[in-house]
Structure 1
């Protein structure tokens, strides 16, 4: 089976099939338009998306009246950074920006993929954080940039 279009997202559709198969992927696979995956029931699927659009947790790859196949993102090893002031947010944002480290924001929290050097930096700057396994809504996208 080759999937070329996303049919919707399980979080927003009204009519769901009674049986759900899941495709477990790591967050970095969400940016891949072409890939081969296997459902939790052993069914092999090719994904070749026509649109230049990232996959999202809960995306529906296939659905009929009895079955649906849904993307399920695995939890990432991340640092959840919780600055207590605009000063701390500015300091850590500047430091991470200099490293071109992708970040995501959820409420007052900054999320970055785990890196022991970043963890050491957070300790040095005395910025509150926690290391945790957490599911992110989208892939951490690295932005290409060079210092000329």
Structure 2
């Protein structure tokens, strides 16, 4: 079994890839695990043991030679894409979701959270525009350590 201790780059920044690519399909929450055993879509087992706080991302290259590469592919997550229409709506929903300690990701015009039926109900009750959909996230949702002391 091949042991991977560092990421060799990302396919988005490589001009030419080898002709044969094997994929390791991971749920986004597994991108945060530093040590794990995975299997490629060709049945090859790998051990991943990342150092120095490195985290996996969609498209990361775990192995590469002239003919082959092994690349991370993230599976889709069910998310709620929140699309407030005013700064007031944004502030109110961010405050309420922050009180629940929900991890979020942001794009130019939306806030993404993992699907939760209680969040969906809150958005409906508050009249805040949103859509529920499956998306391939480039990185995992991260909880930020915090306590109310």
TM range (shorter): over 0.9
How many Å separate the matches in 2 of 1:35 and 1:101?
Answer: 25
Equivalent position SS for 2:12:
coil
> Is 2:79 the counterpart of 1:78?
yes
1:123-138 aligned at under 5 Å gives the runs 123-138=124-139
Post-superposition CA distance 1:22-47 (Å, at most 9, x none): 00000001111111100000000000
Give the equivalent residue in structure 1 for 2:146.
145
Post-superposition CA distance 1:92-140 (Å, at most 9, x none): 0000000010000112010000001100000011000010010111110
Give the equivalent residue in structure 2 for 1:119.
120
Equivalent position SS for 1:130:
strand
Alignment RMSD: 0.7
Shift of the alpha carbon at 1:51? 2.5
Structure 1: gaps (5+ residues): none
1:87-98 aligned at under 5 Å gives the runs 87-98=88-99
> Is 2:48 the counterpart of 1:14?
no
Q: TM-score, normalised by structure 2?
A: 0.97
> Is 2:110 the counterpart of 1:109?
yes
Shift of the alpha carbon at 1:15? 2.5
Structure 2: gaps (5+ residues): none
How many Å separate the matches in 1 of 2:52 and 2:27?
Answer: 20
Q: TM-score, normalised by structure 1?
A: 0.98
Shift of the alpha carbon at 1:143? 1.5
Aligned residues: 148
How many Å separate the matches in 1 of 2:25 and 2:133?
Answer: 19
How many Å separate the matches in 2 of 1:111 and 1:79?
Answer: 6
